Protein backbone atom coordinates (compact mmCIF):
# COMPACT_ATOMS: atom_id res chain seq x y z
CA UNK A 1 0.00 0.00 0.00
CA UNK A 2 1.15 3.53 -0.78
CA UNK A 3 0.62 5.54 2.41
CA UNK A 4 1.46 8.73 0.50
CA UNK A 5 -1.80 8.36 -1.41
CA UNK A 6 -3.82 8.58 1.81
CA UNK A 7 -4.87 11.53 3.92
CA UNK A 8 -2.81 11.74 7.14
CA UNK A 9 -5.79 10.49 9.18
CA UNK A 10 -6.29 7.48 6.90
CA UNK A 11 -2.56 6.76 6.93
CA UNK A 12 -2.55 6.88 10.74
CA UNK A 13 -5.44 4.42 10.95
CA UNK A 14 -3.74 2.07 8.49
CA UNK A 15 -0.46 2.21 10.40
CA UNK A 16 -2.17 1.68 13.75
CA UNK A 17 -3.82 -1.52 12.49
CA UNK A 18 -0.58 -2.77 10.96
CA UNK A 19 1.54 -2.00 14.04
CA UNK A 20 -1.00 -3.70 16.32
CA UNK A 21 -1.14 -6.80 14.10
CA UNK A 22 2.66 -7.06 14.33
CA UNK A 23 2.58 -6.82 18.11
CA UNK A 24 4.55 -3.57 18.11
CA UNK A 25 4.07 -0.87 20.73
CA UNK A 26 1.41 1.72 19.84
CA UNK A 27 3.92 4.58 20.13
CA UNK A 28 5.60 3.32 16.97
CA UNK A 29 2.82 4.97 14.96
CA UNK A 30 3.87 8.34 16.41
CA UNK A 31 7.40 7.65 15.18
CA UNK A 32 6.41 6.44 11.73
CA UNK A 33 3.68 8.87 10.66
CA UNK A 34 5.76 12.11 10.75
CA UNK A 35 8.22 10.54 8.34
CA UNK A 36 5.61 10.61 5.58
CA UNK A 37 5.18 14.39 5.37
CA UNK A 38 6.14 16.35 8.50
CA UNK A 39 9.77 15.19 8.55
CA UNK A 40 9.96 13.19 5.33
CA UNK A 41 12.63 10.61 4.62
CA UNK A 42 13.83 9.15 1.36
CA UNK A 43 13.44 5.64 2.75
CA UNK A 44 12.33 4.13 6.05
CA UNK A 45 15.93 3.16 6.75
CA UNK A 46 16.80 6.87 6.96
CA UNK A 47 14.70 7.34 10.12
CA UNK A 48 17.07 6.61 13.04
CA UNK A 49 14.25 6.35 15.60
CA UNK A 50 12.74 3.36 13.74
CA UNK A 51 14.48 0.05 14.53
CA UNK A 52 16.15 -1.64 11.57
CA UNK A 53 13.82 -4.66 11.59
CA UNK A 54 10.74 -2.42 11.65
CA UNK A 55 12.15 -0.21 8.88
CA UNK A 56 12.72 -3.32 6.78
CA UNK A 57 9.15 -4.44 7.33
CA UNK A 58 7.83 -0.96 6.48
CA UNK A 59 9.84 -0.98 3.25
CA UNK A 60 8.20 -4.22 2.23
CA UNK A 61 4.65 -3.30 3.23
CA UNK A 62 4.60 0.48 2.65
CA UNK A 63 7.30 1.49 0.14
CA UNK A 64 7.89 5.22 -0.27
CA UNK A 65 7.70 6.10 -3.97
CA UNK A 66 9.73 9.07 -5.20
CA UNK A 67 9.51 11.48 -8.10
CA UNK A 68 12.69 11.00 -10.08
CA UNK A 69 14.51 14.08 -11.28
CA UNK A 70 14.75 14.09 -15.06
CA UNK A 71 16.00 17.62 -15.68
CA UNK A 72 16.64 20.75 -13.66
CA UNK A 73 17.12 24.30 -14.92
CA UNK A 74 18.18 27.26 -12.79
CA UNK A 75 17.49 30.82 -13.94
CA UNK A 76 19.63 33.85 -13.21
CA UNK A 77 16.65 35.27 -11.29
CA UNK A 78 16.62 32.26 -8.94
CA UNK A 79 13.68 30.45 -10.53
CA UNK A 80 14.22 26.68 -10.67
CA UNK A 81 12.37 24.41 -13.09
CA UNK A 82 12.10 20.69 -12.31
CA UNK A 83 11.10 17.96 -14.73
CA UNK A 84 10.00 14.91 -12.75
CA UNK A 85 9.86 11.46 -14.32
CA UNK A 86 7.03 9.30 -12.99
CA UNK A 87 7.13 5.51 -12.48
CA UNK A 88 5.38 4.92 -15.83
CA UNK A 89 7.91 7.09 -17.71
CA UNK A 90 5.65 10.13 -18.08
CA UNK A 91 6.96 13.52 -16.97
CA UNK A 92 5.59 16.56 -15.16
CA UNK A 93 6.96 19.92 -14.08
CA UNK A 94 7.30 22.01 -10.93
CA UNK A 95 8.67 25.55 -10.66
CA UNK A 96 10.36 27.01 -7.57
CA UNK A 97 9.94 30.80 -7.46
CA UNK A 98 11.87 32.67 -4.76
CA UNK A 99 10.83 36.22 -3.87
CA UNK A 100 12.52 37.49 -0.73
CA UNK A 101 11.29 35.40 2.20
CA UNK A 102 8.46 33.99 0.10
CA UNK A 103 9.19 30.75 -1.73
CA UNK A 104 6.40 29.61 -4.04
CA UNK A 105 6.22 26.19 -5.64
CA UNK A 106 4.07 25.87 -8.74
CA UNK A 107 2.89 22.26 -9.00
CA UNK A 108 1.24 20.05 -11.62
CA UNK A 109 -1.97 18.07 -11.20
CA UNK A 110 -2.06 16.17 -14.51
CA UNK A 111 0.25 14.87 -17.20
CA UNK A 112 -0.69 17.26 -19.99
CA UNK A 113 -4.05 19.00 -20.12
CA UNK A 114 -7.34 18.45 -21.92
CA UNK A 115 -8.43 22.10 -22.00
CA UNK A 116 -6.37 23.27 -25.00
CA UNK A 117 -5.76 26.96 -24.17
CA UNK A 118 -3.90 28.32 -27.20
CA UNK A 119 -1.31 30.30 -25.21
CA UNK A 120 -0.19 27.33 -23.10
CA UNK A 121 2.43 24.71 -24.03
CA UNK A 122 0.72 22.14 -21.80
CA UNK A 123 -2.61 22.78 -23.52
CA UNK A 124 -1.05 22.09 -26.92
CA UNK A 125 0.47 18.88 -25.55
CA UNK A 126 -2.91 17.24 -24.95
CA UNK A 127 -4.02 15.08 -22.04
CA UNK A 128 -2.17 11.93 -20.97
CA UNK A 129 -3.44 11.04 -17.49
CA UNK A 130 -4.41 12.30 -14.04
CA UNK A 131 -1.81 12.41 -11.30
CA UNK A 132 -2.32 10.44 -8.10
CA UNK A 133 -2.39 12.32 -4.78
CA UNK A 134 1.17 11.29 -3.92
CA UNK A 135 2.42 12.55 -7.30
CA UNK A 136 0.81 15.95 -6.64
CA UNK A 137 1.80 16.48 -3.00
CA UNK A 138 5.04 14.62 -3.67
CA UNK A 139 6.31 17.62 -5.63
CA UNK A 140 6.28 19.56 -2.34
CA UNK A 141 7.76 16.57 -0.51
CA UNK A 142 10.72 16.57 -2.88
CA UNK A 143 11.42 20.21 -1.98
CA UNK A 144 11.32 19.31 1.73
CA UNK A 145 13.88 16.57 1.02
CA UNK A 146 16.19 19.03 -0.77
CA UNK A 147 18.59 20.62 1.76
CA UNK A 148 19.18 23.55 -0.60
CA UNK A 149 15.47 24.46 -0.80
CA UNK A 150 13.20 23.08 1.90
CA UNK A 151 9.43 23.25 2.19
CA UNK A 152 7.98 26.22 0.25
CA UNK A 153 6.00 28.96 1.98
CA UNK A 154 3.33 28.91 -0.73
CA UNK A 155 1.97 26.36 -3.19
CA UNK A 156 0.02 27.15 -6.35
CA UNK A 157 -1.76 24.64 -8.56
CA UNK A 158 -0.69 26.45 -11.72
CA UNK A 159 1.58 23.86 -13.28
CA UNK A 160 0.63 21.26 -15.86
CA UNK A 161 -3.03 20.30 -15.92
CA UNK A 162 -6.39 21.59 -14.74
CA UNK A 163 -6.69 20.75 -11.03
CA UNK A 164 -10.50 20.71 -10.95
CA UNK A 165 -10.51 18.16 -13.80
CA UNK A 166 -8.65 15.85 -11.40
CA UNK A 167 -10.69 16.76 -8.33
CA UNK A 168 -10.61 13.40 -6.51
CA UNK A 169 -6.81 13.37 -6.34
CA UNK A 170 -6.49 17.12 -5.82
CA UNK A 171 -9.00 16.92 -2.95
CA UNK A 172 -6.74 14.43 -1.13
CA UNK A 173 -3.60 16.40 -2.02
CA UNK A 174 -5.10 19.58 -0.55
CA UNK A 175 -5.72 17.75 2.72
CA UNK A 176 -2.15 16.43 2.75
CA UNK A 177 -0.74 19.90 2.10
CA UNK A 178 -2.87 21.54 4.80
CA UNK A 179 -3.23 18.91 7.54
CA UNK A 180 -1.06 19.42 10.66
CA UNK A 181 0.09 15.79 10.36
CA UNK A 182 0.71 16.33 6.67
CA UNK A 183 2.81 19.18 5.30
CA UNK A 184 1.06 21.61 7.66
CA UNK A 185 0.74 24.52 5.24
CA UNK A 186 -1.85 27.20 5.95
CA UNK A 187 -4.83 27.05 3.59
CA UNK A 188 -4.37 30.70 2.65
CA UNK A 189 -0.91 29.81 1.37
CA UNK A 190 -2.36 27.26 -1.07
CA UNK A 191 -3.91 28.51 -4.33
CA UNK A 192 -5.94 26.45 -6.78
CA UNK A 193 -5.97 27.90 -10.29
CA UNK A 194 -8.73 26.84 -12.69
CA UNK A 195 -10.04 27.80 -16.10
CA UNK A 196 -13.50 27.54 -14.57
CA UNK A 197 -14.85 23.99 -14.36
CA UNK A 198 -18.06 24.75 -12.53
CA UNK A 199 -18.67 21.33 -10.85
CA UNK A 200 -15.16 21.43 -9.40
CA UNK A 201 -15.60 25.03 -8.28
CA UNK A 202 -18.61 23.98 -6.23
CA UNK A 203 -16.64 21.17 -4.60
CA UNK A 204 -13.75 23.48 -3.77
CA UNK A 205 -16.11 26.09 -2.33
CA UNK A 206 -17.70 23.42 -0.13
CA UNK A 207 -14.44 22.75 1.70
CA UNK A 208 -14.24 24.57 5.01
CA UNK A 209 -10.57 25.53 4.65
CA UNK A 210 -9.77 28.96 3.22
CA UNK A 211 -7.90 27.76 0.15
CA UNK A 212 -7.25 30.55 -2.34
CA UNK A 213 -8.91 30.52 -5.76
CA UNK A 214 -7.42 31.92 -8.95
CA UNK A 215 -9.52 31.92 -12.12
CA UNK A 216 -7.69 31.86 -15.44
CA UNK A 217 -9.82 34.42 -17.23
CA UNK A 218 -7.58 35.85 -19.98
CA UNK A 219 -10.43 37.51 -21.88
CA UNK A 220 -13.24 39.81 -20.70
CA UNK A 221 -15.98 38.67 -23.08
CA UNK A 222 -17.35 35.29 -24.02
CA UNK A 223 -16.47 35.72 -27.70
CA UNK A 224 -12.87 36.70 -26.97
CA UNK A 225 -12.48 33.92 -24.44
CA UNK A 226 -13.90 31.29 -26.77
CA UNK A 227 -11.21 32.14 -29.33
CA UNK A 228 -8.34 31.29 -26.98
CA UNK A 229 -9.92 29.00 -24.36
CA UNK A 230 -12.11 26.14 -25.65
CA UNK A 231 -13.58 25.62 -22.15
CA UNK A 232 -15.77 28.68 -22.81
CA UNK A 233 -17.93 26.55 -25.11
CA UNK A 234 -19.01 24.39 -22.17
CA UNK A 235 -18.82 26.77 -19.22
CA UNK A 236 -19.75 30.27 -20.32
CA UNK A 237 -18.17 33.38 -18.85
CA UNK A 238 -21.47 34.59 -17.39
CA UNK A 239 -21.94 31.31 -15.50
CA UNK A 240 -18.33 31.36 -14.35
CA UNK A 241 -18.65 34.87 -12.90
CA UNK A 242 -21.90 33.85 -11.20
CA UNK A 243 -19.99 31.01 -9.51
CA UNK A 244 -17.24 33.44 -8.50
CA UNK A 245 -19.84 35.68 -6.84
CA UNK A 246 -20.92 32.72 -4.71
CA UNK A 247 -17.37 32.04 -3.55
CA UNK A 248 -16.97 33.24 0.05
CA UNK A 249 -13.33 34.26 -0.34
CA UNK A 250 -11.52 36.86 -2.38
CA UNK A 251 -10.83 35.58 -5.88
CA UNK A 252 -7.92 36.40 -8.15
CA UNK A 253 -8.58 36.80 -11.87
CA UNK A 254 -5.51 35.75 -13.85
CA UNK A 255 -5.07 37.66 -17.09
CA UNK A 256 -2.17 37.04 -19.50
CA UNK A 257 -1.81 39.99 -21.86
CA UNK A 258 -1.39 38.95 -25.49
CA UNK A 259 -0.70 41.61 -28.09
CA UNK A 260 -3.61 42.10 -30.48
CA UNK A 261 -5.72 39.47 -28.75
CA UNK A 262 -6.89 40.74 -25.35
CA UNK A 263 -4.95 43.95 -24.64
CA UNK A 264 -7.15 46.66 -26.22
CA UNK A 265 -8.50 49.58 -24.14
CA UNK A 266 -12.04 48.19 -24.45
CA UNK A 267 -10.76 44.88 -23.05
CA UNK A 268 -9.50 46.69 -19.96
CA UNK A 269 -12.85 48.42 -19.51
CA UNK A 270 -14.75 45.14 -19.91
CA UNK A 271 -12.42 43.39 -17.45
CA UNK A 272 -12.98 46.16 -14.90
CA UNK A 273 -16.72 45.59 -15.32
CA UNK A 274 -16.23 41.94 -14.33
CA UNK A 275 -13.72 42.39 -11.51
CA UNK A 276 -15.10 45.40 -9.64
CA UNK A 277 -18.55 44.01 -8.70
CA UNK A 278 -17.04 40.82 -7.19
CA UNK A 279 -14.12 42.58 -5.47
CA UNK A 280 -11.60 40.44 -7.34
CA UNK A 281 -7.88 41.06 -7.52
CA UNK A 282 -6.67 41.14 -11.13
CA UNK A 283 -3.29 39.55 -11.66
CA UNK A 284 -1.80 40.84 -14.92
CA UNK A 285 0.98 38.84 -16.50
CA UNK A 286 2.95 39.30 -19.71
CA UNK A 287 2.76 36.25 -21.95
CA UNK A 288 5.82 34.08 -21.32
CA UNK A 289 7.63 33.67 -24.66
CA UNK A 290 7.96 29.92 -24.15
CA UNK A 291 4.23 29.36 -23.78
CA UNK A 292 3.09 29.95 -27.35
CA UNK A 293 5.69 30.89 -29.98
CA UNK A 294 3.00 32.08 -32.40
CA UNK A 295 1.75 34.72 -29.95
CA UNK A 296 3.41 37.90 -28.70
CA UNK A 297 3.19 39.43 -25.26
CA UNK A 298 1.83 42.94 -24.84
CA UNK A 299 4.61 45.49 -24.43
CA UNK A 300 5.60 46.77 -20.98
CA UNK A 301 4.05 50.13 -21.88
CA UNK A 302 0.85 48.41 -23.00
CA UNK A 303 0.71 46.38 -19.81
CA UNK A 304 1.15 49.57 -17.76
CA UNK A 305 -1.68 51.33 -19.64
CA UNK A 306 -3.94 48.33 -19.16
CA UNK A 307 -3.24 48.27 -15.43
CA UNK A 308 -3.81 52.02 -15.13
CA UNK A 309 -7.24 51.72 -16.77
CA UNK A 310 -8.23 49.03 -14.28
CA UNK A 311 -7.00 51.01 -11.28
CA UNK A 312 -8.80 54.15 -12.43
CA UNK A 313 -12.01 52.13 -12.22
CA UNK A 314 -11.37 50.96 -8.67
CA UNK A 315 -9.94 47.52 -9.41
CA UNK A 316 -7.04 46.19 -7.34
CA UNK A 317 -4.29 45.13 -9.74
CA UNK A 318 -1.10 43.14 -9.32
CA UNK A 319 1.37 43.31 -12.20
CA UNK A 320 3.69 40.33 -12.38
CA UNK A 321 6.86 39.96 -14.37
CA UNK A 322 7.79 36.82 -16.26
CA UNK A 323 10.21 34.66 -14.32
CA UNK A 324 12.78 32.26 -15.72
CA UNK A 325 13.05 33.92 -19.12
CA UNK A 326 16.47 32.34 -19.65
CA UNK A 327 15.16 28.82 -18.97
CA UNK A 328 12.15 26.76 -20.11
CA UNK A 329 9.94 28.15 -17.34
CA UNK A 330 6.61 28.42 -19.19
CA UNK A 331 4.04 25.82 -18.20
CA UNK A 332 4.76 22.61 -20.13
CA UNK A 333 7.70 24.09 -22.02
CA UNK A 334 10.46 21.91 -20.57
CA UNK A 335 8.37 18.75 -20.92
CA UNK A 336 7.62 19.53 -24.59
CA UNK A 337 11.25 20.36 -25.39
CA UNK A 338 12.50 17.24 -23.63
CA UNK A 339 9.90 15.06 -25.34
CA UNK A 340 10.91 16.40 -28.75
CA UNK A 341 14.51 15.49 -27.99
CA UNK A 342 13.38 11.96 -27.06
CA UNK A 343 14.74 12.35 -23.53
CA UNK A 344 11.68 11.95 -21.29
CA UNK A 345 12.15 8.22 -20.88
CA UNK A 346 15.90 8.21 -21.62
CA UNK A 347 16.55 10.55 -18.70
CA UNK A 348 14.49 8.45 -16.30
CA UNK A 349 17.56 6.85 -14.75
CA UNK A 350 20.16 9.40 -15.80
CA UNK A 351 19.59 12.09 -13.16
CA UNK A 352 20.24 14.78 -15.77
CA UNK A 353 20.68 18.30 -14.42
Residues with active-site annotation: 93, 331
Residue 111 in contact with residue 90, Cβ under 8 Å? yes
- Contacts by 188-192 with C-beta closer than 8 Å and gap 24+? 188/212, 189/153, 189/154, 189/155, 190/154, 190/155, 190/156, 191/154, 191/155, 191/156, 191/157, 191/158, 191/252, 192/157, 192/163, 192/164
User: CA 70, CA 75: separation in Å to the nearest integer?
Assistant: 17
| Ordered DSSP codes for 12-62 | HHHHHHHHHHHT--THHHHHHGGGTTTS--SSGGG-TTS-HHHHHHHHHHS
Read out DSSP for 278-297? Answer: HTPEEEEEEPPTTT-TTS-B
Amino acid sequence: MNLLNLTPEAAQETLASWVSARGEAAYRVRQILPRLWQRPVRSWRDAPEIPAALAEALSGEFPLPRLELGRKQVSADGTVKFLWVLPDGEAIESVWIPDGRRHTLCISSQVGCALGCVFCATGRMGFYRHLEPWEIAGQVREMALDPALGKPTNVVFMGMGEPLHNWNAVDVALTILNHPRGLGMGARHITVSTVGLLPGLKRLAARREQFRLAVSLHAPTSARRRAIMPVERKYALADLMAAVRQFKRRVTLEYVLIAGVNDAPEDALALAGLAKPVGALVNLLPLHPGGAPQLVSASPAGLKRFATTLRERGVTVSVRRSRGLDISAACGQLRVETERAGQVRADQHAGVE
